[in-house]
A and B are shown apart, each in its own frame.
Chain A
């Protein structure tokens, strides 16, 4: 099983460069060039895809660098009744559905995610508001989970939804990056409620708003232009670029 998923991962990373550099034109950053902002944000996306073509990792720090202050913004205590009930049960009945263009759709419990190969990383989180903080995150690489369910060849984007209604999408270039993880731990303990318990996303090469908290569903899709207003994410509908590598 490990070998199989590793082979799938390698195959996935082989298509990464192609997806990022050649087929990137259907990414929301380039598919919609209506305003001057779309052009400049698209230029940023294209240039950064080229700069990051070898998929470098972001810096990782030692535990002594962990910040005493790590702000929590937007939702810090979801009022969704199902979530509240699940939280009261210590998330023992919590399930993460993974579906869409995959061979073996499934719903994973927290225990199942914890049983998967874990990655721990201490990284710098940068918020669009200007603050930055360092924290340690432990979780399962999204690439591993996607290899478990088997991405279909036509899958191009991963749509992630949050229990608070927030949603975003990621092309495979970022979704399969080794540091893109579904984190259930923070600074050595369980992921705190205000930071997105039980599971949040970490997308380390973009601003904090791409690292969704309270992950509730994962879906592989071929296109994102049919979702919401067709801009690829909820923040894009609020005037923030879909690609946040700035």
Chain B
């Protein structure tokens, strides 16, 4: 089956996706920086309800102790958390109702075929981005990473964050049972944050692999230049063919 080649330039991301993407990026950066500022007051992690200096820790982070950064740290953390939660809720509702989630983020059956997945993993290992028609959709590994961040890690961050709130837990003490206590929630909040930072590092690295100028423009203005397919002759002459 032959398909017509895609146009050179396409309109790729809807305006609401671009807007919520950048608001989320700004909120996440603010949360990461202020989160570290708060953590410096007690860079030790515990399991259960209680934990303090002088009590045994599950593990200690190699960070300097600094008690003076929690004032601005907490204010910025909760401001950014509100932006992230409200923006994220809008995004999720729009993505569910408008079909973005099902259409663009859930892997298709052909993408989940073992052969296809194996090829994707090999392409990722060689830092070889998709070209032509394949470049117009997210690849399966990318989709699974986005779904894990959207549906697992961010909800986990919000819920473990709320478990550290004495006001919210007075209304919903079930949160303590869900995570095994306030300090367990704090530890899980930190671990999930590490995974989100890891995602961010890989995400940004992939932007550079795929062409930073083109991908950044696509996420800012929506205009995406489709990388042309490599012709059979070029492909046969390529050193790794």
Interface residues of A (CB under 8 A from B): 36-37, 39-41, 43-44, 48, 51-52, 56-59, 65, 67-71, 124, 126, 128-134, 204-207, 238-241, 244-246
Chain B residues with CB under 8 A of A70:
52
Tell me if A130 and B166 are in contact (CB < 8 A): no
Nearest Cβ in chain A — how far from B149, in angstroms?
Answer: 23
How far is A206 from B168 in the complex, measured between Cα atoms in Å?
10
Q: A36-B79, A206-B167 are in contact. List 8 more A-B contacts (CB 8 A).
A: A44-B82, A51-B168, A51-B171, A52-B171, A59-B169, A70-B52, A128-B41, A129-B42
Chain B: which residue is nearest A206 at the CB level? B166
Stretch of B70-78, B104-112, B222-230 lying at the A interface: B70-78
Tell me if B75 and A126 are in contact (CB < 8 A): no
How far is A40 from B84 in the complex, measured between Cα atoms in Å?
12
Tell me if A205 and B167 are in contact (CB < 8 A): yes
B-side interface residues, number (CB < 8 Å): 36
How far is A68 from B74 in the complex, measured between Cα atoms in Å?
28
Tell me if A67 and B55 are in contact (CB < 8 A): yes
Tell me if B71 and A239 are in contact (CB < 8 A): yes
Interface residues of B (CB under 8 A from A): 38-39, 41-42, 49-55, 67, 70-72, 74-76, 78-79, 81-82, 164-173, 176, 182-183, 186
* A134/B170 contact (C-beta < 8 A), A36-B79, A128-B70 known: no
Partner of B42, one of A36, A131, A133: A131
Nearest Cβ in chain B — how far from A24, in angstroms?
Answer: 14
How far is A58 from B166 in the complex, measured between Cα atoms in Å?
8
Tell me if B52 and A71 are in contact (CB < 8 A): yes
Partner of A126, one of B38, B53, B166, B171: B166
Tell me if A129 and B41 are in contact (CB < 8 A): yes
Tell me if B79 and A37 are in contact (CB < 8 A): yes
Chain A: which residue is nearest B67 at the CB level? A129
Tell me if A71 and B53 are in contact (CB < 8 A): yes
The prevalent SS among residues of A at the interface is loop
* A246/B173 contact (C-beta < 8 A), A69-B54, A128-B70 known: no
Tell me if B75 and A132 are in contact (CB < 8 A): no
How far is A129 from B186 in the complex, measured between Cα atoms in Å?
12
How far is A71 from B39 in the complex, measured between Cα atoms in Å?
17
Tell me if A246 and B165 are in contact (CB < 8 A): yes
Nearest Cβ in chain A — how far from B183, in angstroms?
Answer: 6
Tell me if B182 and A37 are in contact (CB < 8 A): no
Nearest Cβ in chain B — how far from A72, in angstroms?
Answer: 11
Chain A residues with CB under 8 A of B172:
51
Tell me if A132 and B167 are in contact (CB < 8 A): no
How far is A44 from B85 in the complex, measured between Cα atoms in Å?
12
Chain A residues with CB under 8 A of B55:
67-69, 133
Chain B residues with CB under 8 A of A59:
169, 173, 176
Which 5 pairs, one residue from A and one from B, show the smallest C-beta to C-beta distance? A245-B167, A239-B71, A131-B52, A130-B42, A40-B79
* A245/B165 contact (C-beta < 8 A), A56-B170, A59-B173, A59-B176 known: yes
Nearest Cβ in chain B — how far from A73, in angstroms?
Answer: 9
Enumerate 11 A-B pairs (CB-CB under 8 Å) in ascending A order. A36-B79, A44-B78, A48-B165, A51-B167, A52-B170, A68-B55, A70-B52, A131-B53, A206-B166, A246-B74, A246-B167
Chain B: which residue is nearest A126 at the CB level? B166
How far is A84 from B204 in the complex, measured between Cα atoms in Å?
60
Chain B residues with CB under 8 A of A238:
71
How far is A129 from B167 in the complex, measured between Cα atoms in Å?
17
Chain B residues with CB under 8 A of A67:
50, 52, 55
Chain B: which residue is nearest A241 at the CB level? B75
How far is A71 from B41 in the complex, measured between Cα atoms in Å?
14
* A133/B79 contact (C-beta < 8 A), A56-B170, A205-B170, A245-B167 known: no
Tell me if A58 and B82 are in contact (CB < 8 A): no
Nearest Cβ in chain B — how far from A21, in angstroms?
Answer: 14
Nearest Cβ in chain B — how far from A242, in angstroms?
Answer: 12
Chain B: which residue is nearest A210 at the CB level? B166
Tell me if A57 and B170 are in contact (CB < 8 A): yes
Tell me if A246 and B164 are in contact (CB < 8 A): yes
* A246/B50 contact (C-beta < 8 A), A52-B171, A67-B55, A241-B75 known: no
Nearest Cβ in chain B — how far from A17, in angstroms?
Answer: 14
Tell me if A40 and B182 are in contact (CB < 8 A): no
* A246/B166 contact (C-beta < 8 A), A41-B75, A43-B82, A129-B41 known: yes
Nearest Cβ in chain A — how far from B13, in angstroms?
Answer: 27
Task: Choose among B52, B53, B78, B176 the residue with the greatest number of A CB atoms under 10 Å from its CB.
Answer: B52
